[in-house]
Structure 1
């Protein structure tokens, strides 16, 4: 049973079971009836409209984190209402795959979010360089994480603006951005030196460019995903072995240019490494699996390895109410 004093409420994948009239009869019965709620996830609430969103915001005026990913009925009006009500308190906003939302139309609303630390707009096809430039120019100083996975129109220009305006960035997801070139991660290495969580999946970056990034910024990396970055090879392995002493999780799935020797070099030298993912790496043999010298690393994705325990838990289950900030007591 949900208490009025709970800080976190996660209703992910509630789908058609959370229409507006259900919200109005339960969680959002009246204004300020959820004063302690700081983190709310309604991911996948496909029947949630702007009306329902306005009601829940009114009921929970102290929300710091809101996940509205895959809420396909939401429009720009809902985001505008959110910013007008939560502009001084909201720190995390997830709008993944909300394709009815036009990024340039909600830009003025996003700029009202004075303390925003996390913005996720993954899968919104109309996210463009102009949107990124305007947003990070005004809000980049406080930004700690940005998720741009699948925003297919973005180019190196966006990464240049991020590098110039987001000095405190800790996490960035650049997966599936086919217009990016090696210059993009060059910009990232130049301006965002504190990144510890980086996803570059399914991009065309060269082995030399990835290696150069790791040489420059690898010491801060804790989680790195190079899944399906097909050109990754010996240069990257050498840089990881030399410069990634704090790396905990590494995904090299479908990187088939990495030899047994290159993988051994990584694992034997990255002594903090706990998880190595090698799905699709059919070139790897028992010479590596049985021959490396790091007893703590768990290698998953190879034939006959266990993967259930490595399925990622929702972020709200892995940590506190907010990723980067403490939630102050309201009472």
Structure 2
């Protein structure tokens, strides 16, 4: 019996294989492309008949289809290059200065004030006192000493002695808590109006804050900046704010231990400037309660704060007379938040929104329609922005500074709008890594915008010496231009001959 059933079982298996083969063959016998629009970009497309022919014919047709698709892609690239060339031809720009003359000669002699500052910085350890020096000059000297990283405890004494009305120390990373307290406590008098400490996390903490508060009331303090004070807590800040009731400007960048902003609005209700850059510990609810209570707030900087939302920006714009807003690296902000700001703060003049990847042209159009006095905009690496939004933004004709670095879709239309609408107002422009910007339109912009003083073009490989040396704006500084390498001189063949 087993030997009689074996042939039947083998036949059943063979029948199953045949049925499976017929089912699979149906896919190849009745081939249809589901996406005809994508066929031109598929290098392996061979047409609808490629799979119904024999193996050699199918292979040949696939090869021909791949070549045709590659040719179509080359045609697209050529068409794009032709469009850029037509835009350059449309600009019809010719250098007003002969590029063969080379770069403009920069003045070799610097300003006397700068030379004197350099000498003082070099010999700062030998200076005994700065008594009688104007406050403005002392501030500039302090910045120069900080830039040279020579702000030692001995140098610090020069800028804090005799009870000054302004103390500006941009770099305090070399100062220990004892040295900083010894210098700042004598300054904590009713005469002090401005206190700025940069990179003060090492030296500024609860002990220094308590010592300053205990020294006396800071009744005339109007501006306070504590940069990088990572040891400062909410309690320390509350003590300082309670001692300075007339504070109008408060800047706390990178104060990572702050968690509650309610004390800011409660103790300093008349704030006009508030910076909480990269204070990521403050919650959205705390920010909302604080910011909506500051009825005089004009400058708000929240860059790097992931708790910023569209609803928060809309409520703040309705509650405060904002003129400057910074929301760079706030990943949750979208076009809806910008539309809310534009509707609630029509007097906004400055917007910093670098690396906000969800911004589109719709946000810039809303901004241009409501904020007619917009003067400074930074959109670095906002990759969804195009010429449409930029052209709408500059229609007001009051733009002084624009940063569109890293936006690939910026092209001739943006520069044409700038050269037409902002002929008298534009002072700074950054188009770094915008390789779709033609050199000819940059030339038109440089010649047309008489107030343009700084043009940044890092990564713009399309710019040549024709623009760098041929524009007519003698006051323009072009930053980031690729160095024009001159070919080495030709050296003739040297023939060595034996001495006679």
Alignment TM-score, normalising by the size of structure 1? 0.86
Deviation >4 Å, runs of 4+: none
**Corresponding residue for residue 130 of structure 2:** none
Structure 1 position 290 matched with structure 2 position 473: no
Shift of 1:304: 5.5
Name which of 277, 282, 287 aligns with 1:101: 282
**Corresponding residue for residue 10 of structure 1:** 196
Name which of 374, 378, 381 aligns with 1:202: 381
Structure 1: unaligned runs, 5 residues or longer: 306-331
Deviations 1:258-290 (A, max 9, x none): 121011011111111111111222221101101
Higher relative contact order (CA 8 A, sep 6+): 1
> Which deviates more, 101-110 or 117-126?
101-110
Structure 1 position 37 matched with structure 2 position 214: no
Name which of 262, 271, 274 aligns with 1:80: 262
Shift of 1:33: 1.8
**Corresponding residue for residue 320 of structure 1:** none
Name which of 177, 184, 193 aligns with 2:372: 193
Q: Indicate the SS of the match to 1:29.
A: helix
Q: Tell me how far apart the structure 2 counterparts of residues 53 and 269 of structure 1 sit (CA, whole Å).
A: 50
Q: Tell me how far apart the structure 2 counterparts of residues 275 and 182 of structure 1 sit (CA, whole Å).
A: 25
Deviations 1:87-109 (A, max 9, x none): 1x210000010000012333122
Of structures 1 and 2, the larger Rg is shown by: 2
Deviations 1:141-194 (A, max 9, x none): x11111111111111111111111111111111111111111010110011111
Size of the alignment, in residue pairs?
296
**Corresponding residue for residue 240 of structure 1:** 418
Contact map agreement 2:295 2:319 (CA 8 A) in 1: no
Deviations 1:15-36 (A, max 9, x none): 22111112212x3225x62122
Structure 2: unaligned runs, 5 residues or longer: 1-159, 165-188, 485-500
Q: Indicate the SS of the match to 1:13.
A: coil
Q: Tell me how far apart the structure 1 counterparts of residues 290 and 354 of structure 2 sit (CA, whole Å).
A: 26
Contact map agreement 2:443 2:471 (CA 8 A) in 1: yes
Structure number with the higher helix fraction is 2
**Corresponding residue for residue 22 of structure 1:** 208
Alignment TM-score, normalising by the size of structure 2? 0.57
Q: Tell me how far apart the structure 1 counterparts of residues 285 and 378 of structure 2 sit (CA, whole Å).
A: 25
- Listed as ranges, the matches of 1:99-138 within 5 Å are 99-138=280-319
**Corresponding residue for residue 328 of structure 1:** none
Q: Indicate the SS of the match to 2:478.
A: strand
Q: Tell me how far apart the structure 2 counterparts of residues 251 and 208 of structure 1 sit (CA, whole Å).
A: 18
